[in-house]
Amino acid sequence: MNKLTLLNNRYRIIKELGSGGFGETFLSEDTQMPSERRCVVKQLKPVTANPQIFQLINERFAREAAILEALGEGNRQIPRLYAYFEEQSQFYLVQEWIEGETLTNRVENQGKMSESSVREILISLLPVLEFVHSQRIVHRDIKPDNIMLRKSDGIPILIDFGAVKETMGTVMNSSGNGTSSIVIGTPGFMPSEQAAGRPVYSSDLYSLGLTAIYLLTEKWPQELAINHDTGEVIWRQYAPRISPSLATVLDKAIMSHSRDRFHSAGEMLSAIATPVSNAPTLAALSLAENPTVAISPRGSNSQTPLVNSRDSSKPILISSAITGGLIGASILIGFAIHKSTPPSSEPTTVEAPTTSPSTAALPPPSETLTVTENPNLNASTHQPPFDSRGIQNQTDEYSWLSVRRVTDADLVGKTAFQLDIMRNGIFARHGRRFNNQALQSYFNSQPWYIPIYDPDIFPNNLLSNLEQENVQYILDFQNRNGLR
């Protein structure tokens, strides 16, 4: 691409960063910002020029861009999305530029990484995956090339989510509907269920486990033998000095069948990290049900539509000595060991809806999950369906509390219990259980609800700044009006 070209009359190309089957990536300057800040522009090319499905691709692209925006705003270890646009039948994403090197580059330049360094990377990335999965999204392309070590602080950054690639791979099937022509993921790092087009949360953990093994051994998955009796990867001989504890964690993460792996990123983190003694428990930090800690009040500018929630997921870190089997720096304070029983089955995917943007977030009636009326049912045994992008279909009437600020107009006229549902629904969307039986029974009856965390171990860093502000705002309204 000509470096003098201004994409969207705004973005000046500096140099090409990479290219592949879906398009090219450029380092660019934003000429409409005073600083002319640098950014990454991804030029995406659909695999088909069929005009019949161009509009469908356009709609899907807009949905995926909205998801990327929410992820980048919600976690500082995911690049922010600055803009997206379509120009001359090609699609563009403009994202935050992360100056640094990929894990592939690090190993190529410096060789195998130490166990302590790999532990730190895992401990830093697993809360990011916990956040991504809490948004009902599966990354689907975790590998050394898609994890960058930021130059300024060495923190690993998760890049290049797979859903947009799937959108670019949309074609028309024999029945006249849009469908993906490709499987998203990288051979070797992709588990069998993902290769079959049915990724689950533990698919990402499988990919992360093989990424860690690459860092420890310099061996790509294709270079490792497979036990033909069990289907498991044979790798330990290439890392003879690794501690048995980490080797056991990685072995479980890369089990061939998803049922044998960790069921959540938090569970895998718990297996790696030694809890910090005397650390504050999350029970003391929780704002659900009966809050004990106040959140900073909402700023005076109430007209601001959204706050920057990037720091909401920033883990509080401490440094500790690396001695023997003890882990090193970057232990998440208060991230308690998961004691709750993991879901009995992994989520599966269904074909992505091809309706208009206003209805695309909901599955057609034939794909809607039927949940029993029994309020005591553990909803984790009835996983809601996932679409082919790995995103959970939801029908939560108060899900807007995660994307815009609540106002008095939203609250006036509601009963105390309705307000409790709104406030605690923010926590419920992230998988929190409740001590209040009435609240727990209500959320058990909701098809979108998946209880994951007991009240005393709920990781509050899953909530964005906006969600925390809305919790506090509803609570203040209840206190002012005697509706507690």
What residues are labeled active site? 141
Task: Give the 3-state secondary structure of residue 463.
Answer: coil
Distance, CA of 306 to CA of 405 (rounded, Å):
7
Q: Give yes or no for a contact between 108 and 139, defined as CB atoms under 8 angstroms apart.
A: no
Distance, CA of 337 to CA of 457 (rounded, Å):
7
Distance, CA of 95 to CA of 28 (rounded, Å):
10
Q: Give yes or no for a contact between 165 and 173, defined as CB atoms under 8 angstroms apart.
A: no
Q: Which residues contact 355 (CB under 8 A, 6 or more apart)?
A: 364
Helices (H), 111-171: 115-134, 163-168
Report, in this order, helix, strand and coil percent for the chain, each rounded to 5. 35, 15, 50
Q: Give yes or no for a contact between 411 and 423, defined as CB atoms under 8 angstroms apart.
A: no
Can you say whether the dihedral through the CA atoms of 306, 424, 64, 313 is positive or negative?
positive
φ/ψ of residue 24, rounded to 5? -130, 160
DSSP state string for 183-217? --S-TTTS-HHHHTT---HHHHHHHHHHHHHHHHH
φ/ψ of residue 194, rounded to 5? -75, -40
Distance, CA of 247 to CA of 242 (rounded, Å):
7
414 has binding-site annotation? no
In the annotated binding site for ATP, the residues are: 42
In the annotated binding site, the residues are: 42
